[in-house]
Amino acid sequence: MSGKQIIDSTKIEELYDQDYYLWLQETSRLLKAKDFANLDLENLIEEIESLGRSERNKLISSLRLIYQHLLKWQYQPSKRSKSWSDTISRERDNVSYYIEDTPRLKNLLQDTILLTKAYQRGRRDAIRETGIINLPQDCPYSIEQTLDHNFLPNN
> Taking all residues of the chain, what is their mean pLDDT, rounded to a whole number?
91
| Sequence letter at residue 89 | S
| Sequence letter at residue 109 | L
Radius of gyration from C-alpha coordinates of the chain? 22
Q: Tell me the pLDDT of the chain (155 aa) as tens digits.
A: 444 555 555 588 888 888 888 988 999 999 999 999 999 999 898 888 777 788 899 999 999 999 999 999 999 999 999 999 999 999 999 999 999 998 989 999 999 999 999 999 999 999 999 999 999 999 999 999 999 999 999 86
Residue 3 CB neighbours (<10 A)? 7
H or E element, residue 61: helix 41-75
pTM comes to 0.78
Domain coordinates of the chain in residue numbers? 9-39, 52-147
Q: Which residues of 6-24 are buried (b: 16+ CB within 10 A; e: fewer)?
A: beebeebeebbeeeeeebe
